[in-house]
Amino acid sequence: MNTRFIQFSLLIIIFSLFYSVAAFSQQNKPDSLFRLYETQTTVSKQLDVLIGICNSDFIHDKSTQNFVQHGIENIQNNFSTKCDTGKYYLIEGYLYYYSDENSKSKNNFFHSLNYLISCSDLSVNIPQAYNGIASVYSSESKSDSVLFYYQKEIDFYLKNKQFSFLPKAYFNLAFEKYEFFDAKGAITACNQSIKFGTIQKEYKSIAKAYSLLSRISYDQNTKMNYSFIESAIYFAKKSNDTVTLSDTYTKYGYYLTKDKKYKEGLEIGDQLKELFLSNPDIYKLEFNYYQYFSRYYSAIGDITNSLLFYNKTINLIRKNKLDEKSFGWIFNNMGDVACKGGDFKKGIIFLDSAIYYNKKYNDINNLWYSYYNMALANQALKNYKLANDYFLEYLNLNDSIIKKENQDKLAELQTKYELDKKESRLKLLNLDNQLNKKNTEKQSQQILFLLVIIAVTVLLIVLASIAYNIKRKANILLSKQKQEIIEKTEQLNKQAADIAMYKAQMNPHFLFNAINSVQQFVLEKQSSVALEYLNDLSKLMRSTLNFSDKEFISIKEEIDYLQQYIRFEKLRCDNKFEFHIFVTDEIDIENTCILPMLIQPFIENAVKHGIIPKNAKGNIYLNFEKVKDFKNEFLKITISDDGVGRALSQATKKYDVIAHESKGMEITENRIFKLNQKHFPEPIKGIKIIDIFVEDKSAGTKAEILIPFIELF
């Protein structure tokens, strides 16, 4: 964004400089251009002004070239950017071009391109460099390269939408195509130039394009040349560019002369003269004026005047210290004119000069003509040997021209190859730059990516920990609920066990037997005894209810309960037994815990299976003692009787009685097992039933219960 903006503003500055240069050049005052150069504050702007000067018409002036040369030497060591260096080489390229050092010029232009491309894609100097290269090739007559670089220049403008330069560029292309005999391509390029020129109001280029079109149509005898050249004159006038107008008039006059319309031709010559007279400082106007008349007089056969104007041309060139390259063809023409006028001696002198300059500037084509003319002139003077020699030279040159054309072609191909190499290197460099840029972008992207990954990772960790926490909480909740459920289940199980226990306690046989006994007392009218038993029974039931929601009761409570119970058992079996309770001193019966109604089933069993079958009176003993093993304290409860013993008792039992008893015992065993499981890590055998034998005879049953010794406080 930023670089774009800078480029854009740079472009604006450059354009404005160009326009100011153009404006100054319009005023025909190179001095003001030099001043413009001196007022620039930065090296870059100074270079821009110099480039502007190089692109103006003044550059043909040796003094202007010197000025540019000095200007560039002044700032040569102050280049800070690649752009500046590129501009420097561009200017050097121009300077070498105008001093006819083509290879140096080319090299500089290529150098320039090298720097400019790596400095900015948008620099207007890049197409200028292309243009310069094309110009150099043009002067070397290397058609393919010329067209290639002009095309590149155009492509650049099109790509970067710099349309204002297109009319001129298309004209240059058109001109070169014409020069290299591609009339069709030239017409297309001219049309493009006119098209873009109309849009950009670049009348100068339009005029030149029309002028070129007229030339083409003249060459092809389409008779369109006059209408084209009139359009050219119209636009040249509109452009206010006197040089272009002059060039156009020259061409117009040339057609007229060729068509032998000498009268109109002279009028055009007058126009040229007037143009020159109103702008006597402009070299090109003067040159056109002299040249036109030299040809005009030659055409009408006025050899003296023709030669006079040729001389004026030569003097003009010498006066302006311009290169003497054109002397070759000028002397050649002079020689031709002189020979036509019959003055072969004079002609030979001119042609001699022509050969000299053509050789000097290596202008093979003109040299060829010079030799040919020389041979004819010497033939006319009957200097056959010389004529023969020149003719041979002419033929040799012809060969060498063909040869040279081939060599040139070869050389061109070679340079083109090298050029391609350079181009591809440039492209590579560019790609490298882009790659570097991309790499930096990529790096920053990678860093960003890394940061994103880190952020995401952190986020994930946070989320995971949150999720974990939630899960953990859920787990805790779940385990809590599970625990609750387990507790609830245990409670329910306990309740179920309790219900089973009470059911077992509320043994229907016991109840019915108890009530049966009371009935007996009522019948015998022992009402007090009956009431006592009924009240005891209700107390027993009340105790059962009171114990139902208790985990533990004290031994005292259990003993109280058992004594009420024993009353009924005694009543049932006619006081057939005595009940004895022993508690060791270390036990505080009020403070020591026992499962409620734990002992009653054992008493019930002792009565049923020990005492009742016994023929004599028996005893039931209940002992409480505290016992210890190496790590645990137990409450040991022993219920023993001196009854008949289990073996005998089993035989006399009825089935349903066994069922109830086993169920009652099963519940009791289960309660003891659970209590011990809760208190002791290792399994404890909670109930032991021991058959008592005295002298090998069954002497009763003993039940030992081991439960943890628990105190309330």
Partner 1 sequence: MTKAILVDDAPSNLQLLNGLLNEYCPTVSVVATCTNIKDAEKAIKKNAPELVFLDVELQNELGFNLFDLFPSPDFEVVFTTAHEKYALQAIKSSCLEYLLKPIDYRELIKAVEKFEKQKQLTVNKKKIEVLLENVNNSKQTVNKIAIPNANGYVFLNTSEILFCEADMNYTKVVTSNRDSFLSTKNLKEFEEMLDTEVFFRCHKSWLINLNFIKQYSRIDGTRVQMTNDQWIDISVRKRDDFLKIFNRK
Residues that bind partner 1 (CB under 8 A): 527-528, 531-532, 534-535, 538, 542, 545, 591, 710-713
Q: Degrees (nearest 5) of the Cα angle 215, 26, 242? A: 35
CB-nearer residue toward partner 1: 407 or 546: 546
Is residue 170 within 8 Å of 210, Cβ to Cβ? no
CB-nearer residue toward partner 1: 5 or 713: 713
Shortest Cβ distance from residue 531 to partner 1 (Å)? 6
Shortest Cβ distance from residue 525 to partner 1 (Å)? 12
Is residue 670 within 8 Å of 598, Cβ to Cβ? no
CB-nearer residue toward partner 1: 51 or 593: 593
Strand partners, 640: 621, 702
In a 3-state reduction of DSSP, which class is residue 317?
A: helix
Nearest in space to 198 (alpha carbons), one of 161, 154, 153, 231: 231
CB-nearer residue toward partner 1: 433 or 591: 591
Shortest Cβ distance from residue 560 to partner 1 (Å)? 13
Shortest Cβ distance from residue 637 to partner 1 (Å)? 20
CB-nearer residue toward partner 1: 586 or 656: 586
Q: Give rounded-to-5 percent helix, strand, coil for the chain.
A: 75, 5, 15
From residue 709, give the alpha-carbon distance in Å to each of 39, 214, 625, 673.
Answer: 117, 134, 10, 15
Shortest Cβ distance from residue 591 to partner 1 (Å)? 6
Shortest Cβ distance from residue 530 to partner 1 (Å)? 11
Is residue 291 within 8 Å of 333, Cβ to Cβ? no
What contacts 559, CB < 8 A, 6 or more positions away? 581, 589
Count CB-CB contacts under 10 A for residue 104: 16
Beta strands in 459-590 (DSSP E): 553-554, 577-583
CB-nearer residue toward partner 1: 386 or 710: 710
Tokens standing for residue 177: 């195509």
CB-nearer residue toward partner 1: 498 or 642: 498
Shortest Cβ distance from residue 706 to partner 1 (Å)? 20
What contacts 234, CB < 8 A, 6 or more positions away? 207
CB-nearer residue toward partner 1: 444 or 538: 538
CB-nearer residue toward partner 1: 192 or 505: 505
Handedness of CA 243, 248, 254, 260 (dihedral sign): negative
Shortest Cβ distance from residue 523 to partner 1 (Å)? 18
Shortest Cβ distance from residue 462 to partner 1 (Å)? 33
Long-range Cβ contact pairs of 512-519 (< 8 A, separation 24 or more):
513/568, 513/572, 514/568, 514/571, 514/572, 517/568, 517/571, 517/572
